[in-house]
Amino acid sequence: GIQVEQSPPDLILQEGANSTLRCNFSDSVNNLQWFHQNPWGQLINLFYIPSGTKQNGRLSATTVATERYSLLYISSSQTTDSGVYFCAVPISSGSARQLTFGSGTQLTVLP
Amino acid sequence: GAGVSQSPRYKVTKRGQDVALRCDPISGHVSLYWYRQALGQGPEFLTYFNYEAQQDKSGLPNDRFSAERPEGSISTLTIQRTEQRDSAMYRCASSLVAGRGLFFGEGSRLTVL
């Protein structure tokens, strides 16, 4: 199956700082999603981004499918951004529906 | 409904008992997924449905686990003869288009004593 690696595993920021989270994957994909698990355990879909760039407020994501990586940018971070960020790609190159998740980046934003 | 609803939110059971976890997806969402998440890890795929048809159950760990979605809406994940290793957060998700834009419920936390 496709392997997913996220970096860094942990990140601590001061409020207002910017950050970049990375997701590497081992094979070409036609589906990539970013999720945020907040400190209360809710898992929220941020982006569906198999290629290209999307922006939503202070968050943006870029996927370079040919080079097998995706980046999640968080600008002007806030304490509410804290939590775990997961990227997810298909379990295998022949499937777009069953997702496998990376191990996540634990983000802590300090006030 | 407005979001994916799961029940019970918390379930504590004794080893050997059967448990049933329920998922009510977002109205109109065709695809429904079950994932399991251990503490400190990402969700792990269990099974998924398109309408009432179970399209893939390759992620179910063994034959004690089963899922159904008889009318293409509400789904039930059943674990028979629970074991301590089954303890985890069980998450349900739904999507309008298969594989895209998954919306997760708040999960059912299962503890097997």
State whether B45 and A45 contact (CB < 8 Å): no
Chain pair A-B, CB pairs under 8 angstroms: 58
pLDDT at position B80 over 80: yes
Residues in chain A: 111
Q: Partners of B69 in the beta sheet?
A: none
Give the pLDDT score at A30.
85
Closest chain A residue to B96, measured at CA:
A97
Query: If contacts are CB pairs under 8 Å, which of residues 54-83 in chain A contact chain B?
Result: none
Burial B63-84 (b: 16+ CB within 10 A, else e): eebebebeeebebebebeebee
pLDDT at position B1 over 60: no
Give the pLDDT score at A93.
67
- Single-letter code of the amino acid located at B106: E
Are A41 and A105 in contact, with CB atoms under 8 Å apart? no
Is the dihedral angle over the CA atoms A24, A26, A31, A37 positive or is it negative?
Answer: negative
Give the pLDDT score at A66.
92
Query: If contacts are CB pairs under 8 Å, which of residues 16-55 in chain B contact chain A?
Result: 31, 33, 41-45, 48, 55
Closest chain A residue to B98, measured at CA:
A97
Q: For the segment A41-98, what is each residue's pLDDT rounded down to a tens digit?
A: 899 999 999 999 999 999 999 999 999 999 999 999 999 999 999 999 988 766 667 8
A42 touches chain B (CB under 8 A): yes
State whether A48 and B101 contact (CB < 8 Å): yes
Residues A34 and B101: their CA atoms lie apart, in Å, by 10
The three-point CA angle B52-B58-B64 to 5° equals 85
Give the pLDDT score at B100.
83
